[in-house]
Structure 1
Amino acid sequence: MPSLKYVIKLSAEDREKLTDIVTKGKSPARTILRANILLASDRRSETYMTVSEISKAYHTTPTTVQTVRSSYCEKGLEATINRKKRETPPVPAKVTGEVEAHVVALACSEPPEGYSKWTLRLLADKTVELGYIDSISHVTISTILKKMNLSRI
């Protein structure tokens, strides 16, 4: 029988916290699953389970069980059961409040000669032409105007 690399021995405080997470059921499913895995892996309880037994009992893979166990041993309880928050958004917003203000001001102004009103494509082209933004879609212009309740200009 191979030796276990990560032996889980929960403290009374950790066990109580994990039991609360599981019994209350107010946490995300991922958190509850990880709490269940840690509780089932605890060597201090009389009914600890093997990796394969845990994976079958909680309908997950043995890899997930091993990942949770190794994460608990290396990073601790909080890092294991909770998601890590992103520090920055994946892509910064292209359209800022300043660009929105320019689009709204342009939409409220007189349309170009030969047109009775502004179209979304005309607004998008004029916004790029005036240098407010490098490129913008007519759909984005529509979203901006709708957000400002100006969709019927």
Structure 2
Amino acid sequence: MRGPKAAKLTLSEREKDELERLARGHNIPQHHALRGRMILLASAGKSNAEIARDLHTCDDTVRLWRRRWISSQATSLGDLSVKERLEEHPRSGRPPRITAEQTCQLVAIACTPPSDHPTSHWTPRELADEVMARGIIDQISPRHASRLLKRRLSNRI
């Protein structure tokens, strides 16, 4: 059973040129190239199912990007470039409670030896307690302090 017909998508010459450049680019993130190819095929009159089959993706993804492209065409290319039109929208959700600056301070404390402790290294419990005692972070579990430290140090390597 066939569903509703996909919305018609037309491109200006400038949009088409930039999309083709993006779709062929080697230094372009592949998700941008794929989305560019979806839009080009949609402007050629292909259905969402045909595009999904050709690009080995799902219909819902093609439908989403067709809709987003059509809605973004109301904004001029001077205000919103082709590449910006193919960007993900910010995801909803709770913002992080611990900022990057607080994480840096936690790492700085972890990199200094504990002065008033008998051990030469911080334990996750001691580190969490110290960060809260100094008023850097209101509340943090030892496990989360350890996780932040581990993630931060693994990004250095």
TM-score normalised to structure 2 length: 0.62
Alignment root-mean-square deviation, CA:
3.9
Matched, 1:27 2:28: yes
2:53 alignment partner, one of 56, 65, 68: 56
Aligned residues: 136
Is this contact kept in 2: 1:103–1:123, CA < 8 A? Answer: no
Structure 1 residues not aligned, in runs of 5+: 148-153
Classify 1:11/1:125 alpha carbon distance in 2 versus 1 (closer, same or farther; 3 Å): closer
Classify 1:57/1:100 alpha carbon distance in 2 versus 1 (closer, same or farther; 3 Å): closer
Aligned position for 1:75: 72
- The CA distance in 1 between the partners of 2:140 and 2:56, in whole Å, is 48
Cα deviation for residue 72 of structure 1 reads 1.1
Q: Percent identity?
A: 15
Find the residue that maps to 1:73 and give its secondary structure. Answer: helix
Cα deviation for residue 125 of structure 1 reads 7.0
- The CA distance in 1 between the partners of 2:128 and 2:61, in whole Å, is 51
Cα deviation for residue 141 of structure 1 reads 6.5
Cα deviation for residue 136 of structure 1 reads 4.7
Classify 1:81/1:106 alpha carbon distance in 2 versus 1 (closer, same or farther; 3 Å): same
Structure 2 letter corresponding to 1:120: W
- The CA distance in 1 between the partners of 2:17 and 2:98, in whole Å, is 42
Matched, 1:120 2:122: yes
Find the residue that maps to 1:33 and give its secondary structure. Answer: helix
Deviations 1:98-126 (A, max 9, x none): 5556666671x243xxx4x3453373376
Query: Which structure would you say has the larger Rg?
Result: 1
Structure 2 letter corresponding to 1:124: L
